[in-house]
């Protein structure tokens, strides 16, 4: 039997799938088990198939796999959708009393539990999912006490009656299975440990990173899958003296964030696809006015409204090239949930140090996936804040011209000008999206134009030299097969290494968290025999960049079905690619 | 700086490139005087300007300022005010900037009641792009893009503001210097969104809504015993189509600005050197 356990609950949107899954994930995490969750959801509120999957193990897990051990099916569709992941040892929990007859293949164990009746017995039909969780605990031998703890956490705010009812529901589910089934033969073993983990998703990590980094102002407009960043910050950022505005649209959101940033607040906006398009108008203004701003793009499947609830990494070109004219920017691409936290902090520091917009590019898979971490992974004491050349009253003099005007866009060697925020005496100045001189005033003088363009790009050069544009590395350092990837594919790749190793294939994985500037991979690529770039898009936007950088053709693995890479699937595709010729 | 601030301190040393006689000169003078008169100085003032002839105002004034993209000045002003409740925020632009491309933002800035003043230089034409119809152009006003007139009724910005829940609505005339200044001053002093639509004639492209036209047709509400606290009366003057009014049409004395309603009091520019002291609580929440 596999050491890790793969559990899922599926039904119709509106069935409480998400919160049930989350409760179970929390129970497992409390039991000191590692958890990795994934969600299948449709873009509608009621109706439409939705599922929450959990992979759990005593060891670290960071990918989904093509395997399901226990499935709580609230609809037949749940079974049909997951059929190819079910296996002989799988158990399917369903409610035979309800008006559907589950069609479960013979080789699987059908566990018919009267979810609704038992829930009603415990206090209300709404708890039928909790009954199912109790049943799942029994099947897997998982101590229901952890589930109780998770229920307390979840429902504690709603009063002890609700908590007790839910606990009762779980207990009834457990007892029912105990009395009616003998499932010892399934042999599931859900060990607990003494470890304390925290369980969070990528968007929560971004929100937490933002607060840790001193972000005080956030403006956004709801869009899947970015909204949960706004939801996280609302209700928390206030505790730190900040505020969230739900703007009327993305044009407004980015302009509000720009206004707050110019006033000296660390400020952020987040959106996805279509919202980024709207923000692009102001993006150039942010860059030419040299305003520090973090713009988060949680990518989803495009173009246009595309597949709003599906995974894709298709906005790379937008982040790199979006907007008219030429403006410098940084593009950061966290590769894991913990990196969502750290890269957000870095994004704020880079934005202020270089007075430049920073794109923080995440993706849907990462945003909805919860994963367990040691709490120290988010060590707040290690957070450093660098506000760059923010000048105070005493430093203003250095930057005044002969007439006493503050040179807000002073041409400097490193390309970075002094920054004064409103209220700083004698530093009043204006900024504009028009080309401007050192004082921020409109100019069409050839020399001044060239100086300002050069100055803005010099910031990138400076940053290129001063900052660490590193990559993350996994696998066999000396392997002749090199896999390069960016964004959330890292976890699946790292796990794929295990499968490949079993097949005797040595692979080195480079996972790149910076797209611009990006690490120079030419030596690594030259040293490798085979190079494959893995990404969730159809055209290979990152592969194009790599080819451009090193003038060498690379192989590509592209997935654009709307579903993230799975570890076992990736291993298979890599093996396949390695045996193929390099494309001409 | 303090009480000895003079309005010329708000003047930059850039010479305006507006056409001689443009209403924007008078509009700007009144704005600078109003700012000085209300005890502000360039170091604690933030002026956000739109795009258009009118939007150039940010260049000719001296203060902290941002000259943004077309139609988006109000959200910028909102961001400034939210981050810095201690800063005086003034937003300025044209009728095209504010009621056309920026109309959506206008409605929402009004209803948020952000504590800032918004001065729109309404010349009933697009000046900077050389004379096309604007949202406030008359329906029979012939322009390069509407040779037979726009054939659609003009937007009534005051009514739009009223319908959006405005707490302060006023109108002034650029060439009536004193009244214009007084009205802008009142907008600045208002706790909330102080909206002033200014008749600011374009002498180059609009030969209908001229200084003479306004001089002849303008009725001052002060002389009409209008009570700005009376909502019904405000509705009456705002929707009457046969007269052009100047003065404060509506003022909600109970107005509570957005940042106060949302409990925003702190200067958001000040942050700790590292993560906030109790930041580990944020992590603990995920146990
Ligand atoms: C996105 C965008 N579209 C169009 C323009 C061109 N444009 C510049 S000013 C302007 C109209 C200005 O009219 P108004 O706001 O009435 O100001 P005025 O020049 O009359 O003072 C337009 C359409 C632009 N700068 N940006
Ligand atoms: S074109 Fe009209 S609005 Fe523009 S500066 Fe000239 S007079 Fe003023």
pLDDT number for residue A14: 87
Q: Is A294 on the interface with B (CB under 8 A)?
A: no
Q: Show me where the domains of chain B are located.
A: 7-286
- For residue A291, is it within any domain? yes
Residues with CB under 6 A from ligand 2: B 18-19, 22, 24, 53, 123, 127, 202-205
The closest CB to that of B269, out of A204, A240, A421, belongs to: A421
Is residue A181 located within the same domain as residue A74? Answer: yes
pLDDT number for residue A161: 95
Rounded (5°) CA angle A15-A340-A263: 110
Q: What is the DSSP string of A523-572?
A: HHHHH-SEEEEEESSSS-HHHHHHHHHHS---EEEE--SSS---HHHHHH
Beta bridge partners of A359: A295, A331
Is residue A455 located within the same domain as residue A516? Answer: no
Is residue A126 located within the same domain as residue A19? Answer: yes
Q: What is the pLDDT of residues A75-129, one digit of tens each?
A: 999 999 999 999 999 999 999 998 788 899 999 999 999 999 999 999 999 999 9
C-alpha to C-alpha distance for A205 and A563, rounded to whole angstroms: 22
CATH code of the domain containing A520: 3.40.50.920
Q: Is A435 on the interface with B (CB under 8 A)?
A: no
Looking from the CA of residue B134, the nearest atom of ligand 1 is: 16
B275/A213 Cβ within 8 A: yes
pLDDT number for residue B2: 47
Cα B44 off chain centre by: 18
A259/B79 Cβ within 8 A: yes
Q: What is the pLDDT of residues A183-214, one digit of tens each?
A: 888 888 899 999 999 999 999 999 999 999 99
B143 in helix, strand or coil? strand
Residues in A 190-229 with any Cβ partner in B closer than 8 A: 196-200, 204, 208, 211-214, 216-217, 219
Domain B7-286 has CATH 3.30.1370.30: no
Is residue A462 located within the same domain as residue A557? Answer: no
As a residue count, chain B comes to 287
Task: Chunk chain A into consecutive blocks of 10 residues (it has 584) and report each block's average pLDDT, rounded to whole numbers.
Answer: 83 92 97 94 74 96 92 94 94 90 92 97 96 96 95 94 97 96 87 96 98 98 98 96 98 98 98 97 97 98 95 98 95 98 98 98 97 98 98 96 97 98 97 96 96 97 97 97 97 96 96 97 96 98 97 96 94 93 63
pLDDT number for residue A71: 97
pLDDT number for residue B159: 98
pLDDT number for residue B103: 98
CATH code of the domain containing A236: 3.40.50.970
Q: Which residue of A has its CA nearest to B86?
A: A423
Residue at a domain's end among A409, A444, A467 = A467
Q: Which residue of A has its CA nearest to B66?
A: A431
- For residue A154, is it within any domain? yes
The closest CB to that of B64, out of A214, A253, A422, belongs to: A422
What is the distance in angstroms between the Cα of A178 and the nearest Cα belonging to chain B? Answer: 30
Q: What is the DSSP string of A309-346?
A: TS-----HHHHHH-SSS----EEE---SHHHHHHHHHH
Peptide bond into A505 cis (omega under 30): no
- For residue A584, is it within any domain? no
- For residue A456, is it within any domain? yes
Is residue A224 located within the same domain as residue A302? Answer: yes
pTM: 0.96
Is residue A332 located within the same domain as residue A267? Answer: yes
Q: Which chain B residues are within 8 Å of A29, Cβ to Cβ? A: 287
pLDDT number for residue B1: 43
Q: Is A380 on the interface with B (CB under 8 A)?
A: yes
Tell me which residue range forms the domain holding A531.
472-579
Task: Chunk chain B into consecutive blocks of 10 residues (it has 287) and report each block's average pLDDT, rounded to whole numbers.
Answer: 80 95 98 98 97 96 97 98 98 98 98 98 98 98 97 97 98 98 98 98 98 97 96 96 93 97 96 96 96
Report yes or no: A71 and A93 within 8 Å, Cβ to Cβ.
Answer: yes
- For residue A77, is it within any domain? yes
| Structural domain count, chain A | 4
Q: Is A180 on the interface with B (CB under 8 A)?
A: no
Residue at a domain's end among A467, A501, A518 = A467
The answer to ipTM > 0.95 is: yes
pLDDT number for residue B239: 95
Q: Which chain A residues are within 8 Å of B274, Cβ to Cβ? A: 380-381, 383-385
Residue at a domain's end among A439, A467, A495 = A467
Q: Which chain A residues are within 8 Å of B64, Cβ to Cβ? A: 262, 421-422, 428-430
């Amino acid at each position: 039997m596999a050491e890790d356990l793969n559990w899922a609950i599926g039904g119709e949107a509106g069935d409480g799938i998400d919160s049930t899954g989350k409760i179970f994930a929390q129970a497992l995490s409390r039991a000191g088990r590692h958890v990795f969750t994934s969600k299948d959801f449709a873009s509608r509120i009621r109706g439409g198939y939705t599922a929450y999957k959990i992979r759990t193990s005593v060891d670290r897990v960071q990918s989904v796999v093509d395997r399901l051990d226990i499935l709580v099916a609230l609809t037949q569709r749940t079974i049909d959708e997951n059929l190819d992941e079910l296996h002989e040892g799988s158990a399917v929990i369903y409610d035979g009393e309800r008006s559907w007859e589950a069609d479960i293949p013979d080789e699987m164990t059908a566990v018919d539990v009267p979810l609704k009746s038992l829930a009603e017995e415990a206090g209300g039909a709404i708890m039928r999912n909790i009954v199912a969780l109790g049943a799942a605990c029994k099947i897997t031998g998982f101590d229901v006490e952890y589930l109780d703890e998770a229920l307390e956490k979840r429902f504690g705010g709603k009063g002890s009656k609700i908590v007790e009812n839910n606990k009762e529901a779980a207990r009834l589910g457990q007892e029912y299975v105990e009395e009616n089934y003998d499932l010892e033969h399934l042999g599931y073993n859900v060990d607990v440990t003494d470890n304390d983990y925290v369980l969070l998703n990528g968007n929560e990590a971004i929100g937490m990173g933002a607060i840790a980094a001193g972000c005080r102002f956030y403006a956004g407009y709801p869009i899947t899958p970015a909204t949960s960043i706004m939801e996280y910050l609302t209700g928390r950022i206030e505790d730190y003296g900040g505020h969230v505005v739900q703007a009327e649209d993305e044009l407004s959101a980015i302009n509000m964030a720009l206004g707050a940033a110019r006033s000296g607040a660390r400020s952020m906006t987040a959106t996805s696809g279509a919202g980024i398009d709207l923000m692009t108008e102001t993006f150039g203004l942010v860059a030419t006015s040299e305003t520090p701003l973090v713009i988060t793009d949680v990518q989803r499947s495009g173009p246009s409204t595309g597949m709003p609830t599906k995974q894709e990494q298709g906005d790379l070109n937008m982040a790199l090239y979006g907007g008219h004219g030429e403006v410098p920017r940084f593009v950061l691409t966290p590769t894991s949930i913990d990196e969502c936290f750290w890269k957000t902090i870095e994004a704020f520091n880079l934005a202020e140090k270089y007075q430049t917009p920073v794109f923080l590019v995440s993706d849907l898979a990462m945003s909805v996936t919860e994963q367990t971490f040691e709490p120290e992974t988010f060590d707040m004491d290690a957070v450093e804040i660098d506000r760059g050349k923010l000048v105070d009253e005493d430093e203003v003099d250095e930057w005044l011209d002969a007439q006493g005007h503050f040179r807000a866009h002073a041409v400097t060697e490193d390309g970075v000008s002094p920054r004064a925020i409103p209220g700083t005496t004698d530093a009043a100045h204006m900024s504009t999206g028009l080309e401007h001189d050192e004082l921020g005033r409109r100019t069409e003088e050839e020399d001044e134009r060239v100086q300002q363009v050069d100055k803005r790009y010099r910031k990138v050069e400076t940053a290129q030299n001063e900052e660490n544009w590193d990559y993350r590395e996994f696998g066999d350092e000396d392997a002749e097969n090199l896999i390069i990837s960016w964004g959330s594919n890292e976890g699946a790749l790292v796990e794929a290494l295990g499968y490949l190793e079993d097949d005797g294939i040595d692979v080195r994985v480079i996972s790149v968290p910076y797209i611009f500037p990006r690490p120079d991979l030419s030596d690594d690529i030259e040293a490798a025999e085979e190079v494959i770039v893995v990404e969730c898009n159809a055209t290979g936007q990152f592969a194009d960049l790599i080819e451009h950088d090193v003038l060498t053709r690379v192989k590509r693995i592209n997935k654009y079905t709307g579903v993230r890479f799975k570890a076992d699937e990736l291993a298979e595709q890599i093996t396949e690619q390695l045996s193929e010729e390099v494309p001409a | 700086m303090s009480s000895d601030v003079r309005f010329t301190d708000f003047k930059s040393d850039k010479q305006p490139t507006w056409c001689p006689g443009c209403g924007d000169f008078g509009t700007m003078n009144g704005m600078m005087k109003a700012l000085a008169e209300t005890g502000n100085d360039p170091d604690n003032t933030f002026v956000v300007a739109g795009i258009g002839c009118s939007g150039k105002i940010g260049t000719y004034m001296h203060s902290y300022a941002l000259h943004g993209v077309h139609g988006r000045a109000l959200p910028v002003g909102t961001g400034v005010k939210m981050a810095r409740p201690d800063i005086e925020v003034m937003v300025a632009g044209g009728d095209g900037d504010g009621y056309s491309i920026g109309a959506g933002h206008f409605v929402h800035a009004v209803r948020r009641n952000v504590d800032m003043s918004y001065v729109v230089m309404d010349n009933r034409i697009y000046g900077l792009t050389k004379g096309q119809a604007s949202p406030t152009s008359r329906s029979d006003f012939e322009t390069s893009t509407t040779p037979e007139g726009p054939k659609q009724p003009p937007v009534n910005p005051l009514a739009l503001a009223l319908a959006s829940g405005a707490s302060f609505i006023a109108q002034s005339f650029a060439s009536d210097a004193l009244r214009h200044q007084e009205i802008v001053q009142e907008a600045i002093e208002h706790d909330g969104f102080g909206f002033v639509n200014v008749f600011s004639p374009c002498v180059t492209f609009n030969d209908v809504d001229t200084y003479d036209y306004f001089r002849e047709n303008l009725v001052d509400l002060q002389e009409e015993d209008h009570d700005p606290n009376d909502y019904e009366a405000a509705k009456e003057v705002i929707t009457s189509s046969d007269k052009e009014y100047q003065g404060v049409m509506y003022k909600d004395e109970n107005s509570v600005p957005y940042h106060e309603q949302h409990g925003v009091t702190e200067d958001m520019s000040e942050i700790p050197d590292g993560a906030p002291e109790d930041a580990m609580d944020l992590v603990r929440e995920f146990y």
